[in-house]
Structure 1
């Protein structure tokens, strides 16, 4: 099973965009579907039965345009592949303490808070188009990528939204890169086939579509996704400033040998 899984809505069921009387369907719109991430015994982006009952729906997984999920996951993954400075890596390796710090600073807009965890933000997929979006990050520790999640506070009317509440899943850097490229290739392959189906009349969208424009959009998205998976990451982080901010926020944040019990 892949790390990034998705299922597209049939073309005929994709609701058009645009004003009444002038419906449109773009490449992005045609990626409407469901997305989820199997991580060991848990599955990220799976709704709880309780929230489904509360909403009166039967949606097993997060539903939105899969291209948005791909953009968020792959852009965060590109940042995650960059090795962290030793001091920051030591902090990141203690996930419980890092998660607690992240939660404590989530509503704090001071400059130190922003600088201290901007590197983590780069490694955290932005999924705010989802209600009560889960808090997820990809962090490199040595030769591993660790997928972290913390959704315990993601509730609607006191009801937990996501089945996977808190945890860590690790895989090798090489395996993580393979998973990212697989996600890219599977989505692009499925969308290329979808365009062919529309052109051949085997799929009947709810709006007229310019197939030539769809192919141009496909090429644009292909370049973007390939840049995420094969390009070079240019971090928007000044590590000296990040470490300085962390020292102000964590009194014992200092370069010393690990104790073996997760302490900094």
Structure 2
């Protein structure tokens, strides 16, 4: 596994705002491309069709968005999923469960006691919470699941329904890969420090006056934010998630046993 990225050259970074009120921030300065290599598969690599209609080879967005989302997920990814619940999260059975849960939510919203409805909804939803990588800011998005057991982190992707003009948007259509937990952590750490190091160089250039004078940027805030972001990986790794798995399983079983009201 390798999380790759390329920052857009500083002179080509497009500032935000109107022509008379242009600005940039730490977030905006991370503009670039990113992709994740998993063996022979690359997540966030656009298909040949997508490239013919205007996409680049890889996802074109602020790198820190991927960085923030993965670090936000990290505590949940590294909390092992109990073996009995894997079938409700992973693979085809996971898809079937999500369809069942969605039907149940629609059926029961007006029938079940409100407190009980939301209790079951929240508990059942905690199984997948923060285990799907958010990419809703992309059009189309990518469907990527990351979870772990006691030994490995499993990465699954299913982009078979992600299309542009009816044709596949991503080269990574469907598959999965598992890697040892410690290797996954090492790559997340590597990604973090590679981004921080490259941004340190970029900030030094900005402080030295590399941006056009018409682009506003708060240099003091920029440097302070960089200092704060340096600790993001350490903070994410130290954040321990404790899901009440027994309660989650009971909620899932209750939903699974419920009859479909619409068919009655």
Quote the offset at 1:226 in angstroms. Answer: 3.0
Do the aligned residues in 1 keep the contact of 2:34 with 2:59 (CA within 8 Å)? yes
Determine the structure 2 residue equivalent to 1:248.
254
1:189 corresponds to: 197
1:231 equivalenced with 2:231 (yes/no): no
Measured after TM superposition, the shift of residue 104 of structure 1 is 5.5
Q: Please give the alpha-carbon distance, in whole angstroms, between the structure 2 residues aligned to 1:139 and 1:127.
A: 17
TM-score of the aligned structures, taking structure 1 as reference length: 0.83
Task: Please give the alpha-carbon distance, in whole angstroms, between the structure 1 residues aligned to 2:195 and 2:99.
Answer: 33
TM-superposed deviation, 1:125 = 1.5
Displacement of 1:184 after TM fit?
Answer: 0.6
Structure 2: tracts of 5 or more residues without a match:
107-116, 258-264
Of residues 55, 60, 65, the one that matches 2:57 is: 60
Instruction: Confirm or deny: 8 A CA contact 2:78 2:148 kept in the other structure.
Output: yes
User: Aligned partners of 2:144 and 2:230: how far apart in 1?
Assistant: 25
SS in 2 for 1:47: coil
Which residue, 117, 126, 129 being the options, matches 1:121? 129
Runs (4 or more) in structure 1 with deviation over 6 Å come to: none
Q: What secondary structure does 1:38 align onto? A: strand
Root-mean-square deviation over aligned CA pairs: 2.3
Deviation by residue 1:19-72 (Cα, 9 ceiling, x = unmatched) = 44121100000001111011111110011111222xx32400111111111011
In the alignment, the residues of structure 2 paired with residue 247 and residue 223 of structure 1 have an alpha-carbon distance, to the nearest angstrom, of 40
Distance in 1 (CA, whole Å) between partners of 2:219 and 2:103 is: 45
> Retained in 1: the 8 A contact 2:80–2:148?
yes
- Are 1:6 and 1:36, in contact at CA under 8 Å, matched by a contact in 2? yes
Question: Structure 1 unaligned runs (5+)?
Answer: 252-264
Q: Secondary structure at the match of 2:206?
A: helix
How many residues are treated as equivalent by the alignment? 244
Does residue 81 of the first structure (1) align with residue 81 of the second (2)? no
Say whether the 8 Å CA contact 1:99–1:150 is kept in structure 2.
no
For 2:10 and 2:104, the matched residues in 1 are separated by: 43
Larger radius of gyration: 2
Determine the structure 2 residue equivalent to 1:130.
Answer: 138
Q: Which TM-score applies when normalising by structure 2?
A: 0.83
- The alignment partner of 1:133 has SS state of coil
